[in-house]
A and B are shown apart, each in its own frame.
Chain A
Amino acid sequence: MTSSNSKMVSLSGKEQQILNEIYDIPLALQPVTAIGKKLGMSSNQVLEIISNLKKRGVVRRIGPVFSHRELGYSYNAMILFKVDEKSLDRAAAVLSRKKEISHVFQRNNKYGMNLYAMVHAKSKEQLKKIINRVVDEAKMPILVAKTVQELKKDSLTILKEVE
């Protein structure tokens, strides 16, 4: 589904264990040693494995994950653009520069709307303002999909398929 040239990285048993432990790190002093103790490894071993996972691009970063809703960003919308192939990179670059736009993806499909951007705001008015700014600047066909209900919002975890 994503670009066909992605190759699957294989994870060792130890790596999988560590990834499970660092999904939701217990808030306690000396968190690395605690993980090491649980898995029967030294804290240096744990840090080395994590560093390696970072180098291989499996781990993007480790840090606080906030709820953007609780931070006040409870309004969002997806803006869809119809851009011809040769102008796509430029249009995407312009969109990406705007700090209110968090995601910009190309998604080709039979309905023609091939560039997708996400915007988030703290109020209905702010969302409207952001959307208007984006829409006014853009000369190509646009659709605005406003979120009326959030049914789920979670982080990606390591998947274990059991089918």
Chain B
Amino acid sequence: MPLTEQDIVIINALQGTTFNDDLFTNIATRLSISPDKLLEKLENLKKRGILRRWGVFLNSRTLGYNSALIALQLPENKIEKLENWIKNEKGVTHCYVRRFFNKDGSVSNHELASFNIWLTLTSLNKSYFHHKVNRLQRELEIDNNLILILPSQKKFKLRVPYDIQ
């Protein structure tokens, strides 16, 4: 079900709020609807998967968590097994299958192009991180030359990918 004009009006009104007891009452006033009506609309947005949750954005760095981008060379027939593995692993937040191209749009045969799986793994600390990677390699039978661990030395930008309007 695509976004309606009404949805967009509501979504925009949800931006820039402060978390306190009047949170939803204030938004309802902003939209000139009753608080109950607002809650109904929010539940609807949640049911449709548009609003995933109302909640906290954590800073994994401040928490001292260790995280890295991990690339894998994984054959097609192991992807389902991988999906199940990451489903149960809370430390994996993102996982994508990607295909590499050159500047001119042609298919790339760069060494990195053999890495078709790209995921982010976060863990409480270095030791747990390595533990998880070992488990991933063991359970999916991934040799050392088929996995690439890419921690970041510097973060220049980190934003949500959407622009509501």
Chain A, residue nearest B152 (CB): A105
Closest chain-B Cβ to A83's Cβ sits at a distance in Å of 12
Q: Contacts A29-B25, A31-B21, A153-B94: A62 and B55 contacting too (C-beta < 8 A)?
A: yes
CB-based contact A158/B158 at 8 Å: no
Chain B, residue nearest A115 (CB): B156
CB-based contact A149/B162 at 8 Å: no
Q: Which of B17, B46, B83, B164 contacts A71 (CB 8 A)?
A: B164
Q: Contacts A103-B158, A146-B98: A152 and B59 contacting too (C-beta < 8 A)?
A: no
20 residue pairs bridging A and B, Cβ less than 8 Å apart: A2-B65, A7-B64, A19-B56, A47-B19, A62-B57, A64-B14, A65-B57, A66-B164, A71-B50, A76-B161, A78-B118, A96-B156, A102-B161, A104-B155, A104-B156, A104-B157, A105-B152, A106-B156, A157-B58, A159-B122
Query: Which B residues lie within 8 Å of A154 (CB)?
Result: 92-94
Interface size class of B (residues with CB under 8 A): 35 or more
Q: Contacts A102-B160, A143-B100: A107 and B20 contacting too (C-beta < 8 A)?
A: no
Query: Which B residues lie within 8 Å of A135 (CB)?
Result: 103
Interface size class of A (residues with CB under 8 A): 35 or more
Give the interface SS of chain A, mostly helix, strand, loop or mixed.
mixed
Give the distance in Å from the alpha carbon of A76 to the alpha carbon of B98 in the complex: 10
Interface residues of A (CB under 8 A from B): 1-3, 6-9, 11, 19, 22-25, 27-33, 43, 47, 50, 56-68, 70-73, 76-78, 80, 88, 92-93, 95-96, 99, 101-109, 111, 113, 116, 118, 120, 135, 142-159, 161, 163
